[in-house]
Amino acid sequence: MDQIRKFSLLILITITLQGCGATPRLLGGDYYMMGDSSCKKYRLIGPTRIMCMNSSGEDMGYRDAMTAHQMHEYKQDKKELAAAMQEFADAAEELNQTVNNSVPAYQPMNLPDIPDLQIRQSRPSSYNSTTGNSYQYDLSNPADQVLYNADPAAQLRDRINPTVDIDSSLGQHGGGVYDNTSMECYSTDDCSNGQSCRSKSGGGAECR
């Protein structure tokens, strides 16, 4: 916060010292403050006096030649301005370093290893047990395990079919048992006993 206050103060000092753009200009051996919007043009109206005019040529008031004291103050202000500008630049660099140091360096996140499960939404693996049952899912396949856990219909078929318990006791890994007379399929390769994969009236396909 101290750096921000210092930065803001230097901006105000710089603006104040810069003034409105008027600078001394030598005319006939004397210096006159000119160049601001009220004194874009001039005409001499006396030995040490000019009439200032704006860019449209309208009179904006007279100005006298600068005294030695005024010239000394002007030069002192220029030195202070140069010093303020340098301090301004130093403060900006210091503030930039402070901000950069306060932001932690980027550290790549180390993600845990995740098994590369190719979950096949369109076609799970089929499984045929040694007892002759055909299953929609091969539960030895991690991808099929995920699909099976999200398929309440397949789980219901396993609960109501008593032969599933027999397969489980024999170490079989099927999930979602099919009724072999009307087993769902994706292609003829899913069917057994010479059956073919045919479309059902309600959608999908079954082995017949």
Query: What does the pLDDT look like over 5-16, one tens digit per residue?
Result: 655 665 665 555
pLDDT at 63 over 50: yes
Please check whether residues 91 and 140 belong to one and the same domain. no
Please check whether residues 145 and 85 belong to one and the same domain. no
Total domains, the chain: 2
Please check whether residues 201 and 131 belong to one and the same domain. yes
Mean pLDDT, residues 48-54 taken together: 95
Which structural domain, as residue segments, surrounds residue 166?
Answer: 127-207
Percent of the chain with pLDDT over 90: 26
pTM for this structure? 0.36
- In the listed set 81, 97, 113, which residue is the last one of a domain according to the structure? 97
* Strands annotated E in the chain: 23-27, 30-34, 41-46, 49-53, 59-64, 127-128, 134-138, 174-177, 197-199, 205-207
